[in-house]
Structure 1
């Protein structure tokens, strides 16, 4: 299926199945992460609230309600939460493997949809890895508004 074959104006948020699908994705993914010896140390302070925050973030990224910005501090808060984690490229790669498995299990069997979602995760995890090298408290400057990801990738970006 191509982007043009999806309902005109349909967001990725709608195509994945909305917040409930993103909650399932987040829960399935973090069940794998917490059991993974390479990634579990990165999430030492993990709470189940984190899975809901991730679902809300993804909802906003993929064209749903702006709840992360309105309720949880927006793009700046998300970036700050990665400071000091020192994520390695090996950890990022494993994160992507586990997310790809969760996407396959939890999202609709739509090749284009799954590809676009995983492209977002590849893009976003590179940013998280880079930001994680900075110490906690680092001034990140203004990262701008929460990005949006659509059928053609980053909306309004490069």
Structure 2
């Protein structure tokens, strides 16, 4: 990509609407999760700050400010929250479906390129969450970099 074009392409974070969009997405989503028969058992004991933590994490992954890693979070920290949860594929699929419905409800961009990137990240991240939820130990080292997601991220088959 030439330099002029790359400067004109916004990050996914910018295109989505910045931090307020991610905060609204996850606050609305986790309100809906509380009433969802498939997901509420997984999240019934989540802290009041959970939606904010996830919003900061995903916003940072999508090119936003380092609000998650800047407040004692890391990729390893996020993965650690899934260890031993024994998540199912049914729960994973419902999580994605409900999150995408929430994205529509709050008016996140619905252009094909953005939604492709969003769905790609949700598929990638949720499948890794399911894998890690059956682990006994965190496979991510404390100093591992945060994931970075952009407009096209496929780099080959997953290697645990």
User: Deviations along 1:117-139, whole A, 9 cap, x unmatched?
Assistant: 1210110000000001123xx24
- Count of matched residue positions in the alignment of Structure 1 and Structure 2: 150
Unaligned runs of 5+ in 2: none
Instruction: Tell me how far apart the structure 2 counterparts of residues 130 and 80 of structure 1 sit (CA, whole Å).
Output: 12
Q: Counterpart of 2:87?
A: 87
The answer to whether structure 1 residue 140 and structure 2 residue 136 are counterparts is: no
SS at match of 1:149: coil
Q: CA deviation at 1:145?
A: 0.5
Farther-moved stretch of structure 1 (33-42 vs 101-110): 101-110
Q: Give deviations 1:74-105, integer Å, cap 9, x for gaps.
A: 10000001111110011101111101101212
| Offset at residue 7 of structure 1 (A) | 7.1
Contact 1:104 1:114 in 2 (8 A): no
Q: Measured at CA, do residues 151 and 35 of structure 1 come closer, stay the same or move farther in structure 2, by a change above 3 Å?
A: same
Residues 66-145 of structure 1: pairs in structure 2 closer than 5 A:
66-106=66-106, 107-135=108-136, 138-142=137-141, 144-145=144-145
Q: Show the counterpart of 2:153.
A: 153
Conservation of the 8 A alpha-carbon contact between 1:28 and 1:102? yes
Alpha-carbon distance in 1 for matches of 2:6, 2:47: 36
Cα offset, 1:46, TM superposition: 1.2
- Length-normalised TM-score, structure 2: 0.85
Stretches of structure 1 lacking an aligned partner (at least 5 in a row): none
Q: Which of 89-98 and 108-117 deviates more?
A: 108-117
Q: Is the 8 A contact 1:103 1:114 kept in 2?
A: no
Q: Which residue of 1 aligns with 2:39?
A: 39
CA distance in 2, matches of 1:129, 1:44: 18
